[in-house]
Amino acid sequence: MTDSKTKLAVYAPSVKLGYRDLLSVNAFHEIAARHDVVWLFLGQIPSVGLDQHSSVRVLKPNRFRYRLWLGLHSLVRYAFDDRIFDGRQKKPAIGLRRLDQLVLASIIRLRLSWLARQVLKVILDATAPDLSAELRGSRALLCFGSAKDIVFDDLVKSARKLSIPVIMVPLNWDNATSKPYIERPGLILTWGTQTSELSESLHGVRSLPLGSPRFEFYKSFGVPSQRAAKEKLGLRCDLRYVMFAGAGFPFVEFETLRILTDALEKHGLSDVRIVYRPHPYSWKGFSKSSLGPELAERVVFDPSLELFGKDDMEQYAYVLPAISALVTPFSTIAVEAAFHRVPALCIAFDDPSHTVFDWKLHSQHQPHLKIFFEEIWPLKCFQIDELESSFMDLIGLVGDRDMGESAFRIFQRIVHTDQKPYVDRLLDIVHSELKLENASSRL
């Protein structure tokens, strides 16, 4: 194993899904048990997970610099997306103020993007905080998260000045391929072989498959039977349940729910109910109270969201085995369904009231999603007027063994798994990288 005296600087999330994932595999404790760690967090210290005597630094970016950096990232991403979407990508809008959207759109229209990127990069480099005090003495900088992070960029700049190698671990499936790097790490560790190959091709950075904390949970917990899962969640064992999982970006969720429930009524499927699971960070803030009385007879709000805490992985361990099929916009929950061999229908319809995100364009062109077009699983639907027929096709595939095996083949390509625990795999790679670094420094 690794040398317990080796010092590491570790930049990790302290909130939301990334923090939940690391907490689920006890990563904070396990890494600290084997290394002398300086923990770096953005904005706040996590509420639980750290050992009592941990060395912690909280980093807070300057608001004005962040606004400039967000403009730079948006322009870099627009250029990056040009290769993926063949010039059909939308102008930068997500997370930007209206004025900034207009400025960036004008820069792109006037073909000043390259010049603007150079100017912004110079300003940001000149005003970058010196984070050498936080990093000095560390053998490596290990970063969890994504490339869309000003603090990550500033840490990479400081690490480079100190000749400290940087290892990036994207915690979400898409983060390895959908977000460009302004400051490149030396190594990227992705969910699996699929994204490691894509990451290396798209970013020109050496990438290796690592796995995801989200699926380590099952090594100790196991997968309950469908009956046991239903009983735990208070669902009826004599009914079949199809989950409709909502999206983070704006999506026509209630129009979709109405089509699904109307189809059940039209085709006499009295033994089927819809389990509605809104995205935990939905832009529109969908929740149980969002369901109107007209949907109450056929739609059940996902009981795992009320039975378990927000960061409890048992939500997925019970609700996914309990369902017979999944309907979802193209998203990561489909990968969770693939692990459980659940038939899935991935859909892509734009919300006419929100034009910031093009579902159809992204679902058909994002590199990490192309794997969904290589097998019979999942079913796909891109026109809302075709949803009913696609939904009935999905119902007809419940229990289909070939569909289940197709799903699991996709899962195995997306997520690397083996008998070794996630943190052990991670630290073994870190240890190997440090050995390589030592060998090269002696040459």
pLDDT in tens, 82-103: 989 988 888 887 778 899 999 9
Torsion, Cα 217 220 225 228, to 10 degrees, reads: -90
Give the per-residue pLDDT at 217. Answer: 83
Compute the average pLDDT of residues 283-293. Answer: 69
| 272 and 395 Cβ atoms separated by less than 8 Å | yes
Distance CA 335, CA 212 (A): 11
Give the per-residue pLDDT at 324. Answer: 98
Q: What percent of the chain shows pLDDT beyond 70? A: 96
**pLDDT tens digits, one per residue of 305-343:** 999 987 788 999 999 999 999 999 999 999 999 999 999
76 pLDDT more than 50: yes
Residue type, position 248, single letter: G
Strands 166-170 and 240-245: unpaired
Which tokens is 387 given?
């949803």
285 pLDDT more than 70: no
Give the per-residue pLDDT at 286. Answer: 67
Q: What percent of the chain shows pLDDT beyond 90? A: 78
**pLDDT tens digits, one per residue of 361-415:** 999 999 999 999 999 999 999 999 999 999 999 999 999 999 999 999 999 999 9
Give the per-residue pLDDT at 287. Answer: 66
Give the per-residue pLDDT at 438. Answer: 66
**pLDDT tens digits, one per residue of 252-279:** 888 999 999 999 999 999 999 999 999 8
Give the per-residue pLDDT at 443. Answer: 47
Give the per-residue pLDDT at 283. Answer: 67
Mean pLDDT (the chain) is 92
Q: What residue spans in the chain does CATH classification 3.40.50.2000 cover?
A: 7-62+129-212+418-434, 220-414
Torsion, Cα 257 261 267 270, to 10 degrees, reads: 140
Distance CA 202, CA 165 (A): 21
**CA-based end-to-end distance of the chain:** 25
CATH topology of domain 7-62+129-212+418-434: Rossmann fold (3.40.50)
Give the per-residue pLDDT at 93. Answer: 78
The residue ranges of DSSP E strands in 30-104, in sequence order, are 36-42, 55-59
More confident residue, 204 or 53: 204
227 pLDDT more than 60: yes
Query: Among 47-56, 156-165, 222-231, which is the least confidently predicted range?
Result: 47-56
**Domain 220-414 indexed as CATH 3.40.50.2000:** yes
**C-alpha to C-alpha distances, 203 to 33, 122, 175, 367, nearest whole angstrom:** 33, 21, 12, 12
Distance CA 428, CA 430 (A): 5
3 pLDDT more than 80: no
